[in-house]
Structure 1
Amino acid sequence: MEHQDQEMQTFMQSNTAKIMMVGFLTLILLIPLVFVQNLITERSQRQKEVVDETTAKWGGEVFCYGPVLKVPYYDNATKSLETAYFFPDQLNTTTDVKMARELKRSIYKANVFTAGITFDGQFSNPNFNGLSIPAENIRWNETQVVLRTTNLSSINSEVKIHVNGQNLTFEPVTSDKPSDTIATLESARFPITALSGQRFKMHLSYNGSHAIRFVPVGKTTKATMTGDWNSPSFTGNFLPGTQQIDKNGFSAQWNILHFNRPFNQQHFGALPDLSKYAYQVDLITPVDEYQQNERASKYGFLVIGLTFLVFFLIQSISKINIHIFQYTMIGIALVLFYTLLISITEHSSFTVAYAIAGTAIVAMITTYSLSILKNRKFPMLIGGALSLIYAFLFVIIQLEDYALLVGSIGLFAILAAVMYFSRKIDWSR
């Protein structure tokens, strides 16, 4: 029995047992790390809710679909009044986006903008030949221009269009679908007998946030957009033919032809939902503070593992015994870094928060190591190693396109260093 107890005691003092305990502790520390990640997700969701609520009062995503001609006609087959819609032959859109200000509520802030949009183009003569509608059944004098858009409450200018020699004012049409977020505007009625080749022009001014998108309803649609936001994302069904982005803003141009899109120039019965065929510019923050915190927390297991590895190598080389309780205290401090980071970030920038949290944790663990290791050389080595780990992590978080490459190279260098410093350790003990 004594022999078995002695063997167990010898095993518990061996490097194998120690590394097993440290490994098990590392896995246990994943539990509070998951709680921290859930906290970051919860705070991020809260920010999104507050930002959405705040920007809704200013103005949400800007969407425009039109202008479109609406011509009523009497259908002898159905014995009812029907509607035909005709898209313009040529549509030119010019949009100027200006970031207005930051809307703040509590600790959260939202970026909003104003957008001035000019439409001009040309309608061709509406063609009913395919339906064999008698000329007397077409209500030419009741023609209207239709525009579909969002954010009626955030339009800053009167909605008018100059067409057929007239200035026509738009009025909203009540939707029979309460869930419909896209409003329909219809102009006053006017005759279009002499419309062939007639040009039109209109201007809209919006308050908005998040994105701007347009449906290319012209047989030829040419669009230009400029803005002072330096991180636009071009999405939607069509990408710009040319684009330029610098620190002062962006400019982009689209040239979309009718055979580039899967819908016709005229529609009978109802105006179809073509929002999925829009081209779009998202005015985004590429990596916001909560995204950076989330990315940092995903490397928590790596930071804890590397820190424990440094302590274990120092323990094996110096023959100084480090108790599992002391490893636990160090692990809790490493997890605490992420709660410090998220809490400070909400009142400052991510960079400042990272520097404060990182400095505090490195100083705490280095000071704690002085009492454990009983000398200055190894604690200073630990402080330097921790500083390098946090600096390496910060660089990876800031990178987007090269994060995987830099991370892989860094891990390769760390593995090489561990193999070098552990090459003379006797693992048989």
Structure 2
Amino acid sequence: METQMQPQPKTSIFQSSTAKMIMVGILTLVLLIPLTLVQDLITERSQRQKEVISETTSKWGNSVYFYGPILKIPYKDPTTGINNYAYFFPDNLNSKSEVTMVKPLERSIYKSNVFTTTMQFDGTYSHLDFSSKGIPAENIFWNRAKIMIRTTNLKSLKDEVKMKIGNQNLAFESVANSANDSIESLETNYFDYKLMENKAAFKFDISFNGSNQIKMVPVGKTTSASMTSNWNSPNFNGNFSPTSREINDKGFTANWKILHFNRPFAQHYFNVLPELSKYAFAVNFITPVDEYQQNERASKYGFLVIGLTFLIFFLIQSISKINIHIFQYSMIGIALIMFYSLLISITEHSSFSFAYAIAASSVIVLISLYAISILKDKKFPLFIGVSLTVLYTFIFVIIQLEDYALLVGSIGLFLILAAVMYFSRKIEWNK
């Protein structure tokens, strides 16, 4: 009697591991749409913060740009008969600045870092040479000489500016600028430079309310500058770096020494005073990585988090033969997207670290509980919870790192790839 073989039921192509993987891959790509929307929200909130900070600091004081003192002497050009000005920079210029970061200005949920600074200057002028232009002595109006200071922040001056030069005391007044000149000027009243000795010493103080940056042009033939502050995250930039600096938790101290042959401009000009801001040295009082930058960096790992989480579920599904519907994958993916929405909303009212811990814990607990109902077991959901905890911790560490972020990220991704290859080695992809 022949035994008839029972035909094996054919497995639908849509039930194969390959088809399921393709559908999960497509879902991962679809979830990039809401992830992009979240990233746009972060950008929008960051831009809103910049607008509010700009508006707030403009009332307190913007960046401080300082350029001077400049000796301004009128003369008559012997060839044209037109009256012009000659501008002379000091031989020696010494400055000492003390910058104090004050309590941040608050508006709604946004805070603006602002400072007050007192800048002390002294230096000397020596013999002024008009011979290079062939200007006779009778064409030089010494008794109408002025001292000029240029800045972009006149409205945030905290006190009157007065100078002692030689045996004279001079007071500065603001002067009108041309419409296309964004740099404002202070000038003293007239004084007779010829009444002084060939070498004239000067001394003055100036105080500002400001924000973001202090920037100075080294107009002295020899410029020596020092700056101290209680801000511990300075960014030294501009055309010259400090010759020495010391930074600790309490603040920083920096010193500059710039000689005239270190810079590409002259010690005197006739007729036109050029704009020399590109030759300035500067200190930015920055927040190294603000909350929105950290949120933005975290969101860039969104694709990695979604992909790896789906991969974990897919491997569990393939190994345990438990069927997970594409709808359930969708719910898990939406929960992962919600992490970034929670993160930015909590960060705006707290620190990034606290917000990250709350958002990550909430999503991990939610997905782990959901996995219990899907997988009908506590072993796999526990593995999923541990895996997500490790993944979010790994991303948090990368976000905090600066110099070693790429190295740590590359090593971490290599280890993740090795783990995936190990656990996927026995899966039968044809079924």
TM range (shorter): over 0.9
Q: C-alpha distance in 2, partners of 1:22/1:181?
A: 57
Secondary structure, in 3 states, of the residue corresponding to 2:12?
helix
1:69-84 aligned at under 5 Å gives the runs 69-84=71-86
Specify the alignment match of 1:213 in structure 2. 215
Specify the alignment match of 1:254 in structure 2. 256
Runs of 5+ consecutive residues of structure 2 not aligned to the other structure: 1-7
1:398 aligns with 2:421: no
TM-score, scaled relative to structure 2? 0.97
| RMSD over aligned Cα atoms | 1.2
Between stretches 75-84 and 369-378, larger displacement belongs to: 75-84
Secondary structure, in 3 states, of the residue corresponding to 1:101?
coil
Match of 1:116 among 115, 118, 138: 118
Identity %: 62
Partner letter of residue 138 of structure 1? I
Specify the alignment match of 1:272 in structure 2. 274
Structure 1 residue 145: deviation in Å? 0.5
Q: C-alpha distance in 1, partners of 2:134/2:271?
A: 15
Between stretches 335-344 and 416-425, larger displacement belongs to: 416-425
Structure 1 residue 180: deviation in Å? 3.3
Secondary structure, in 3 states, of the residue corresponding to 2:345?
helix
Specify the alignment match of 1:186 in structure 2. 187
Query: Are the counterparts in 2 of residues 164 and 192 from structure 1 also a CA contact under 8 Å?
Result: no
Q: C-alpha distance in 1, partners of 2:128/2:225?
A: 24
Structure 1 residue 428: deviation in Å? 2.4
Q: C-alpha distance in 2, partners of 1:150/1:166?
A: 27
Specify the alignment match of 1:25 in structure 2. 27
Structure 1 residue 384: deviation in Å? 0.6
Q: C-alpha distance in 2, partners of 1:340/1:348?
A: 12
Between stretches 189-198 and 233-242, larger displacement belongs to: 189-198
Partner letter of residue 184 of structure 2? A
Match of 2:320 among 318, 321, 325: 318
Structure 1 residue 275: deviation in Å? 0.8
Query: Are the counterparts in 2 of residues 89 and 121 from structure 1 also a CA contact under 8 Å?
Result: yes
Runs of 5+ consecutive residues of structure 1 not aligned to the other structure: 1-5
Structure 1 residue 10: deviation in Å? 2.2
Q: C-alpha distance in 2, partners of 1:327/1:195?
A: 86
Query: Are the counterparts in 2 of residues 60 and 151 from structure 1 also a CA contact under 8 Å?
Result: yes
Secondary structure, in 3 states, of the residue corresponding to 1:161?
strand
Match of 1:10 among 9, 12, 19: 12
CA deviations 1:271-324 (Å, max 9, x no partner) are 110011110000000000000000000110000001001111111111101000
Number of residue pairs matched by the alignment: 423
Specify the alignment match of 2:134 in structure 1. 132
Query: Are the counterparts in 2 of residues 123 and 195 from structure 1 also a CA contact under 8 Å?
Result: no
Secondary structure, in 3 states, of the residue corresponding to 2:240?
coil
Secondary structure, in 3 states, of the residue corresponding to 1:356?
helix
Specify the alignment match of 1:48 in structure 2. 50
Question: Closer, same or farther in 2 for the Cα pair 1:23/1:143, shift >3 Å?
Answer: same
Match of 1:155 among 151, 154, 157: 157
Secondary structure, in 3 states, of the residue corresponding to 1:224?
strand
Structure 1 residue 107: deviation in Å? 0.7
Secondary structure, in 3 states, of the residue corresponding to 1:367?
helix
Query: Are the counterparts in 2 of residues 170 and 185 from structure 1 also a CA contact under 8 Å?
Result: yes
Structure 1 residue 257: deviation in Å? 0.7
Structure 1 residue 247: deviation in Å? 0.8
Specify the alignment match of 1:355 in structure 2. 357
CA deviations 1:374-417 (Å, max 9, x no partner) are 01000010011011111101001111111111100100111111
Secondary structure, in 3 states, of the residue corresponding to 1:379?
helix
Structure 1 residue 195: deviation in Å? 4.0
Specify the alignment match of 1:413 in structure 2. 415
